[in-house]
Each structure stands twice: as structure tokens, then as C-alpha cells.
Amino acid sequence: MKDVQAYCVKCRTQRSMKDAREQTLDNGRRAVKGVCEVCGTKMTRFLPSEKK
């Protein structure tokens, strides 16, 4: 994926995700998961649902 921004809880700011990949969670919601480029903390950004 291209450059994805998400909130890093450890850095307390918006950061770019490294190794970002889109996933569907157990409840059916879409999300992008990756790690913070600065500190390496796991990050998750929820995506809007697809209209049917």
C-alpha cells in the first residue's frame, strides 16, 4: 500500500505506517495494520465500510 498515516499511541502523533496491509477483522470491519516507522509500535487504522 502507499503511504498510510495513523495515530501512534507511543509517539502521540500521526505517523506513517511501515509494512501496511489491509485486513478484514473478525467482526467484518476493514482496517489497515502496520508498524510505526519511528518506534516500531503496532498501529491500526479503521477504513470506511464498502457500500453494498
User: Domain residues of the chain, as ranges?
Assistant: 5-46
pLDDT of residue 37: 95
pLDDT of residue 34: 97
Cβ neighbours, 10 Å, residue 46: 11
The 10 Å CB-count burial string (b at 16+, else e) for 8-37 is beeeeeebebeebeeeeeeeeeeebbbbbe
Rg (CA), the chain: 11
Please list, in sequence order, all residues whose beta carbon lies within 8 angstroms of the beta carbon of residue 52, skipping any fewer than 6 positions away: none
- What are the pLDDT digits (tens) for 1-40? 778 999 999 999 999 999 999 999 999 999 999 999 999 9
Q: How far, CA to CA in Å, does 39 sit from each of 10, 17, 42?
A: 8, 11, 9
